[in-house]
Chain A
Amino acid sequence: MEYFLQQLINGVTLGSIYGLIAIGYTMVYGIIGMINFAHGDIFMVGAFISLILIVTLGVTASMPLALLILALIAILIVSMALTSVWGWTVERIAYRPLRGSFRLAPLITAIGASIVLQNFVQISQGARNKPLQPLIPGGFTLSEGAGESGFIVQLSYSQILIIVVTTVLMIGFTTLINKTSLGRAQRSCEQDRKMASLLGINVDRTISLTFVMGASLASVAGLMFLIYYGVIDFYIGFLAGVKAFTAAVLGGIGSLPGAMLGGLLIGLIETFWSGYFSVEYKDVAAFSILAIVLIFMPEGLLGKPEVEKV
Chain B
Amino acid sequence: MSAQSESRFVSAVKDSAAGGLIALALFSLMLGMKAEVASGMGGQLGIEYRWGAVAIAVGVVFFGRLILNLFVWKAETPVTGIAAGLMPKASSFSGLGKFAMPVFLVLAVVLPFLLMSYYGASGSRRYLDLAILVTTYVMLGWGLNIVVGLAGLLDLGYVAFYAVGAYSYALLAHYFGLSFWICLPLAGILAALWGIMLGFPVLRLRGDYLAIVTLAFGEIIRVVLLNWYDFTGGPDGISGIPRPSFFGLEFERGEDGFAAFFGLDYSSVHRIIFLYYLILALALVTNFVTMRLRKLPVGRAWEALREDEIACRSLGINTTNTKLTAFALGAMFGGFAGSFFATRQGFISPESFTFMESAVILAIVVLGGLGSQIGVVIAAVVMIGGFELIREFAEYRMLVFGLLMVGIMVWKPRGLISTRTPSISLSGKAKGISADLVQEGHG
Interface residues of A (CB under 8 A from B): 34-35, 45, 48-49, 51-53, 55-56, 82, 85-86, 88-89, 93-94, 97-98, 100-105, 107-109, 111-126, 128, 130-133, 238, 242, 245, 249, 280-281, 283-284, 287-288, 290-291, 294-295, 298, 308, 310
Contacts and interface: CB of A to CB of B under 8 A. Distances in A.
B45 interface: yes
Contact of A82 (B25, B208, B356): B25
A105 B202 CA distance: 21
B409 A108 contact: yes
A284 B403 contact: no
A111 B399 contact: no
B182 to A, nearest CB: 31
B241 interface: no
Contact of B45 (A51, A117, A308, A310): A51
Contacts of A120: 30, 399
Given A98-B409, A107-B207, A116 B403 contact: yes
B216 interface: yes
B29 A102 contact: no
A89 B26 contact: yes
Contacts of B216: 242, 287-288, 290-291
Contact of A294 (B30, B213, B395): B213
B211 interface: yes
Contacts of A102: 413-414, 440-441
A298 to B, nearest CB: 7
A280 B223 contact: yes
A45 B31 CA distance: 11
B22 interface: yes
A116 B406 contact: yes
A242 B26 CA distance: 24
A284 B220 contact: yes
B219 interface: yes
B33 A119 contact: no
B33 A111 contact: no
Q: Which of the listed residues B363, B370, B413, B440 has the most CB atoms from chain A within 10 Å of its own CB?
A: B413
Given A52-B33, A53-B29, A124-B34, A294 B209 contact: yes
A101 B46 CA distance: 45
17 contacts: A51-B35, A55-B35, A85-B22, A85-B26, A86-B26, A103-B442, A107-B154, A111-B156, A112-B401, A125-B34, A128-B37, A242-B216, A281-B224, A283-B219, A284-B223, A294-B212, A295-B205
B227 interface: yes
Interface in B365-405: 366, 370, 395-396, 398-399, 401-405
Nearest to B229: A280
What size tier do the contact residues of chain B reach?
A: 35 or more
A55 B45 contact: yes
A98 B30 contact: no
B43 A131 contact: yes
A126 to B, nearest CB: 6
Contacts of A308: 310
A287 B220 contact: yes
B359 interface: yes
A45 B45 CA distance: 17
A287 B443 CA distance: 25
B215 interface: yes
B45 A130 contact: yes
A294 B213 CA distance: 8
B152 interface: yes
B355 interface: yes
Contacts of B398: 115, 118-119
Nearest to B43: A131
B362 interface: yes
B410 interface: yes
- Across the A-B interface, give the 3 residue pairs with the lowest CB-CB distance, nearest first: A112-B405, A115-B402, A116-B402
A20 B366 CA distance: 32
Contacts of B399: 115-116, 119-120, 123
B47 interface: yes
Contacts of B29: 48-49, 52-53, 82
Given A98-B410, A116-B399, 11 more contacts: A49-B29, A52-B29, A85-B26, A97-B410, A102-B414, A112-B405, A112-B406, A128-B36, A287-B217, A291-B213, A295-B204
A242 B219 CA distance: 10
Contact of A34 (B43, B208, B413): B208
B52 interface: no
A55 B30 CA distance: 13
A118 B396 CA distance: 11
A102 B436 CA distance: 11
Given A85-B22, A295-B202, A98 B227 contact: no
A298 B26 contact: no
B440 A101 contact: yes
Contacts of B442: 103, 310
A107 B208 contact: yes
B215 to A, nearest CB: 7
A147 B362 CA distance: 55
B211 A35 contact: yes
B232 to A, nearest CB: 13
Given A55-B47, A115-B398, A125-B30, A245 B212 contact: yes
B85 interface: no
B316 interface: no
A121 B310 contact: no
Contact of B30 (A49, A109, A126): A49
B44 to A, nearest CB: 7
Contacts of A113: 402, 406
Contacts of A291: 201-202, 213, 216-217
